[in-house]
């Protein structure tokens, strides 16, 4: 389907959008973008994890046909409740585009159901591909759905690739800000607090992904996601630290040409492009890029010794099977425990490595097996808190 779907002002043909995770960072960003694109899209479904108060405000502002709350109390009696609300919202007949902004592996079933129903999935839930990349590809093939990435790094790669095949690519270069601990030594990192980890220098994001940025686990997730999205082998995907977060990713082609996508560190542009791809539309709200103000642009190698979670994740991706699901679940659980004050920052990567050593060889051939590996990894890490 075309991302735009209808000419401006054609209210009867505007594509319907479902936002899963509408009260989170990506969800609220998407609603800001859609507020400027009301003549092209209509919001027909909203779901939130637990923030009933904000969800009620969004319902009042958008009047969607469907509203769902996964956990917690509050809201209206007419709202759908529980995890089934995600799949119900995503598979409605009046939904054309599903923005999956759910955090963590909880977004997997909605991704699979959306693709099998033939929807465009604007995917911010990278964990769907990390946990079950092959199953996601099979669901898209069966149902005719498509994935357009929302992560700024993968949106950049998509824009750089154009119509080129994976065989034209020498390597993908994914940039990392380096997070708040880019220059910290090992001794200082061991004492990093939650407040330190949440003090990201360039991006405003939810707590979980901000901690992932601090450990560089998020780059491991993005490498695995890039492998499945673009069909490029792991040995041709690299990570480089770029503190300014202006160059979102680069593609080096086999002739030596390098194409990069640049922009201010705002998620509004990748959200907009995921809605309209391959078309581009005018949006006055997306921040303008000033190359002089953005200068200088610098790049550094990753300090793998200080940020071992990145290497653990890439190794899990290469191993395949249930290993990526174990990596993701161990990371999610360790980050939650860190945010609760029950684990140190340094223990996040340690517990991930231990979980992979113990459970990375589990079978991962289908959804049931992958969910079993996910559950085992979560239990393993919680027992060591």
Are 29 and 268 contacting, i.e. CB atoms less than 8 angstroms apart?
Answer: yes
The pLDDT tens digits along the chain (385 residues) read 444 455 445 556 899 999 999 999 999 999 999 999 999 999 999 999 999 999 999 999 999 999 999 998 999 999 999 999 999 999 999 999 999 999 888 999 999 999 999 999 999 999 999 999 999 999 999 999 999 999 999 999 999 999 999 999 999 999 999 999 999 998 899 889 999 999 988 877 889 989 999 999 999 999 999 999 999 999 999 999 999 999 999 999 999 999 999 999 999 999 999 999 999 999 988 888 999 999 999 999 999 999 999 999 999 999 999 999 999 999 999 999 999 999 999 999 999 999 999 999 999 989 999 999 999 999 999 999 9
* Per-residue confidence (pLDDT) for residue 1, from 0 to 100: 42
Q: How far apart are CA 65 and CA 78, in angstroms?
A: 11
Q: How far apart are CA 20 and CA 48, in angstroms?
A: 7
Token pair for 7:
């000419």
Q: How far apart are CA 174 and CA 122, in angstroms?
A: 19
Backbone angles phi, psi at 240, to 5 degrees: -135, 145
Q: How far apart are CA 111 and CA 181, in angstroms?
A: 33
* Per-residue confidence (pLDDT) for residue 12, from 0 to 100: 60
CA 344, 347, 352: angle at the middle one, nearest 5? 140
Exposed e or buried b per residue across 171-186, where buried means at least 16 C-beta atoms within 10 angstroms of its C-beta: bbbbbbbbbbbbebee
Q: From its phi and psi, is residue 209 left (phi > 0), alpha (psi between -120 and 50) or beta?
A: alpha
* Per-residue confidence (pLDDT) for residue 10, from 0 to 100: 56
Question: Domain-by-domain residue ranges, the chain?
Answer: 11-149, 164-265+302-319
* Per-residue confidence (pLDDT) for residue 287, from 0 to 100: 81
DSSP H or E stretch at residue 205:
none
CATH topology assigned to domain 11-149: Rossmann fold (3.40.50)
């Amino acid at each position: 389907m075309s991302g735009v779907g209808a000419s401006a002002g054609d209210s009867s043909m505007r594509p319907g959008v479902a936002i899963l995770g509408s009260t989170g960072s990506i969800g609220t960003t998407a609603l800001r973008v859609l507020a400027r694109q009301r003549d092209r899209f209509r919001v027909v479904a909203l779901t939130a994890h637990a923030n009933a108060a904000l969800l009620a405000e969004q319902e009042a502002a958008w009047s969607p046909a469907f509203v769902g709350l996964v956990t917690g109390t509050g809201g209206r009696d007419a709202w759908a409740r529980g995890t089934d609300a995600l799949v119900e919202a995503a598979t409605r007949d009046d939904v054309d585009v599903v923005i999956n902004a759910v955090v963590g592996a909880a977004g997997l079933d909605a991704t699979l159901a959306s693709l099998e129903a033939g929807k465009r999935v604007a995917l911010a839930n990278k964990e769907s591909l990390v946990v079950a990349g092959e199953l996601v590809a099979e669901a898209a093939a069966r149902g005719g759905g498509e994935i357009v990435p929302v992560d700024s790094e993968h949106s950049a790669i998509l824009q750089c690739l154009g119509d080129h095949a994976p065989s034209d690519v020498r390597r993908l270069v994914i940039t990392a800000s380096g997070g708040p601990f880019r220059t910290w030594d090992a001794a200082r990192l061991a004492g990093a607090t939650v407040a330190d980890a949440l003090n990201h220098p360039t991006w405003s994001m939810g707590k979980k992904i901000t901690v992932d940025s601090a450990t560089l686990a998020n780059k491991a997730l993005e490498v695995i996601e890039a492998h499945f999205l673009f069909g490029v082998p792991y040995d041709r995907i690299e990570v480089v630290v770029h503190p300014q977060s202006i160059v979102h990713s680069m593609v080096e082609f086999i002739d030596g040409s390098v194409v990069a996508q640049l922009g201010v560190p705002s998620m509004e542009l990748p959200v907009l492009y995921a809605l309209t791809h391959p078309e581009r539309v005018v949006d006055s709200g997306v921040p303008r890029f000033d190359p002089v103000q953005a200068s200088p642009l610098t790049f550094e190698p990753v300090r793998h010794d200080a940020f071992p979670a990145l290497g653990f994740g890439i190794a899990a991706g290469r191993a395949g099977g249930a290993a990526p699901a174990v990596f993701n679940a161990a990371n999610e659980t360790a980050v939650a425990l860190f945010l609760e004050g029950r684990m140190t920052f340094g223990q996040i990567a340690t517990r991930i490595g231990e979980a992979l050593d113990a459970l990375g060889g589990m079978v991962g051939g289908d959804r049931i097996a992958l969910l079993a590996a996910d559950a085992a990894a979560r239990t393993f890490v919680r027992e060591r808190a």
